[in-house]
Amino acid sequence: MDSGPGFPYREESLTKYIIRRVLALIPVLLGISILVFSLIRLIPGDPITVMLGEKARPEDIAVVRAQLGFDRPIYVQYLEYMGRLLRGNMGKSIINRTEVTRELLYRLPATIELVVFAMIIGVTVGISVGIVSAVRRNSLFDVVGMIGALLGVSMPIYWLALMLIYALAVNR
């Protein structure tokens, strides 16, 4: 099977290549889950105190800590976390005590709307700048377009979002 110029292994079938890539994804996802779980546990403050408030009695904190499993060893907490995550149970929010999955599904339409409009704007601007740059090669517009494209691809989206929020909403 000739796989074309972009395929890394000519002798290997596309199915085998995809299976290898998916299997290589498993350790990455496992590492990310360990990192996220660890970072959540390293955040200063006690989630039980956040749930119950600063004036909670120590015996109430101990009861809730036992109910939620925070009194168990960290590796047991991680294994339980992974078991729930693999079943699609992301737990309950500490703040409003609702299911996290339900909260995510509630906010999914707004997220999809933002993604669709961002893609429409990005594709429209990208194609327009690309056409003008192709017609006017080596012009100032072409150079500015290339620099803008390079910045757009290189810049972390979360940083750009924070800067745009600051420039357009906070700094008014």
pLDDT in tens, 121-167: 989 988 999 999 999 998 999 999 999 888 888 888 888 888 888 88
Our separate counts of H helices and E strands in the chain read 7, 0
The count of domains in the chain is 2
Q: Is residue 96 one of the residues assigned to a domain? A: no
Domain range for 8 is 1-44
Write down the pLDDT at residue 89.
87
Q: Is residue 83 one of the residues assigned to a domain? A: no
Q: Is residue 7 one of the residues assigned to a domain? A: yes
**CA neighbor of 99 nearest in space, from 109, 110, 90, 88:** 90
Q: Is residue 26 one of the residues assigned to a domain? A: yes
- The token pair at 98 is 């609702």
Q: Is residue 73 one of the residues assigned to a domain? A: no
Q: What is the pLDDT of residues 47-104, one digit of tens each?
A: 788 778 888 888 888 898 888 888 899 899 999 989 988 898 888 887 777 898 899 9
- Cα four-point dihedral sign 125, 127, 131, 133: positive
**CA neighbor of 85 nearest in space, from 48, 33, 40, 31:** 33
Write down the pLDDT at residue 1.
46
Q: Is residue 63 one of the residues assigned to a domain? A: no
Q: What is the pLDDT of residues 15-29, one digit of tens each?
A: 888 899 999 999 999
Model pTM score: 0.57
How many of the other CB atoms lie within 10 Å of CB of 78?
A: 16
Bridge partners of 92?
Answer: 99
Higher-confidence residue of 160 and 8: namely 160
Q: Is residue 40 one of the residues assigned to a domain? A: yes
How many of the other CB atoms lie within 10 Å of CB of 86?
A: 9
Q: Is residue 143 one of the residues assigned to a domain? A: yes
